[in-house]
């Protein structure tokens, strides 16, 4: 995927956002092609916004790709033309990302080195265009159970299961060993993640998130407040959290997000938890109660009950609304 090549997933959003906007604007097929071509020419996003020390751009690059996609759809609606062969053409997306012969428009598998070692990279055309109009990837989308980087979720669920299920306190813990797939290890156990200086780095730091979960037995937006970032209890345990990459787990990703967490206590007991899907995955869905609790947690006391219900109903019933509403 694009992350293996050190690009941010907003690189993919640039192709999705003009399609969604074009659907809402009822663009013709030709206009839709132009909208995709306009957006896909200039929104390739490098991976650094989510690598190392993070800034507010972590939360901004994807919305900016959405903004650009909407603008592209509006331009196409007004007759502006875009690159028609933005995927398969010469120096197009597929050609630029290797594994594709633009001259013959055929696959050209190429050995390249990624986080999982050297492997043959090529384009899966069926994955790109198969089932169009019959199946929709949005039905396979997950929802985040925690306000943290998506790859932290399975590990957090394992840890919370061990802590809560065995009535453990943070002061009981000698070591927490986390086995994860290589891509997650590279992102989540970067050395800067052990001493995050900002909310943006903290919620992409698995050591910080797990330390906060050990202390509070939960992870919420308040886990990343200035007060919590300076909570000495977190730094009593954060260095006890060790990560190790697994090539076996890497082969299971992205179909699964395996995690093994082994908690060792000061008195020598060990508790092991293993999960393959995070809470919120379509195969491990959140309930409506889960979603309402998440909504209420995010909203907090910013609105009165009447306004909260209005916003919640708009979000939960958005598929019934039109663009004009």
Per-residue pLDDT tens for 153-191?
999 999 999 999 999 999 999 999 999 988 788 878 888
189 alpha-carbon distance from chain centroid: 16
In tens, the pLDDT along 241-267 reads 999 999 899 889 888 999 999 999 999
Torsion-angle region of 235 (φ positive above 0: left; ψ -120 to 50: alpha; else: beta):
alpha
Which domain covers residue 216, as residue numbers?
150-275
Where do the DSSP E strands lie in 75-233? 100-101, 106-107, 110-114, 117-121, 173-181
In a domain, 141, yes or no: no
User: Could you tell me the end-to-end alpha-carbon distance of the chain, in angstroms, rounded to an integer?
Assistant: 36
Give per-residue burial for 305-320: e unless 16+ CB within 10 Å, then b.
eeebeeebeeeeeeee
Do residues 218 and 260 both lie within one domain?
Answer: yes
pLDDT tens track for 6-64: 889 999 999 999 999 999 999 999 999 999 999 999 999 998 988 877 888 988 999 99
CB burial readout 269-284, b (16+ within 10 A) else e: eebebebebbbbbeeb
Query: How many structural domains comprise the chain?
Result: 3
Domain end call among 135, 158, 176 = 135
> For residue 25, is it within any domain?
yes
Taking Cα atoms as reference points, which of 245, 101, 295, 313 lies closest to residue 109? 101
Residue 282 lies in a domain: no
Same domain, 182 and 99: no
- Report if residue 283 sits inside a domain: no
Q: Where are any strands of DSSP class E within the chain?
A: 100-101, 106-107, 110-114, 117-121, 173-181, 241-246, 259-265, 270-275
CATH number reported for the structural domain that contains residue 113 in this entry: 1.10.4100.10
């Amino acid at each position: 995927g694009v992350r293996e090549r050190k690009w941010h997933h907003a690189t993919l959003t640039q192709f999705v956002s003009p399609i969604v906007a074009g659907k809402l604007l009822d663009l013709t097929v030709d206009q839709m092609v132009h909208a995709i071509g306009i957006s896909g020419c200039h929104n390739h996003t490098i991976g650094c916004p989510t690598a190392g020390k993070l800034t507010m751009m972590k939360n901004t690059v994807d919305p900016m790709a959405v903004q650009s996609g909407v603008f592209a759809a509006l331009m196409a609606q007004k007759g502006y033309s875009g690159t028609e062969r933005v995927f398969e053409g010469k120096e197009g997306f597929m050609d630029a990302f290797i594994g594709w012969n633009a001259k013959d428009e055929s696959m050209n598998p190429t050995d390249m080195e990624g986080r999982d070692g050297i492997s043959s990279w090529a384009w899966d055309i069926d994955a790109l265009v198969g089932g169009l109009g019959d199946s929709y990837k949005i039905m396979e989308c997950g929802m985040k159970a925690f306000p943290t980087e998506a790859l932290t979720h399975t590990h957090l669920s394992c840890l919370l299961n061990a802590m809560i299920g065995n009535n453990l306190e943070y002061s009981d813990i000698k070591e927490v060993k986390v086995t994860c797939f290589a891509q997650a290890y590279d992102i989540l156990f970067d050395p800067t993640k052990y001493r995050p200086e900002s909310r943006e780095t903290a919620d992409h730091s698995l050591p910080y998130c797990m330390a906060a979960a050990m202390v509070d037995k939960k992870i919420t937006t308040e886990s990343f407040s200035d007060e919590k970032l300076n909570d000495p209890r977190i730094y009593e345990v954060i260095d006890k959290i060790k990560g190790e990459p697994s090539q076996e787990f890497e082969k299971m990703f992205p179909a699964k997000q395996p995690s093994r967490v082994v908690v060792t206590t000061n008195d020598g007991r060990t508790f092991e938890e293993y999960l393959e899907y995070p809470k919120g995955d379509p195969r491990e869905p959140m309930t409506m109660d889960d979603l309402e609790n998440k909504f209420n947690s995010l909203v907090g006391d910013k609105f009165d009950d009447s306004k909260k219900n209005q916003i919640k109903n708009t979000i939960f019933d958005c598929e019934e609304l039109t663009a004009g509403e």
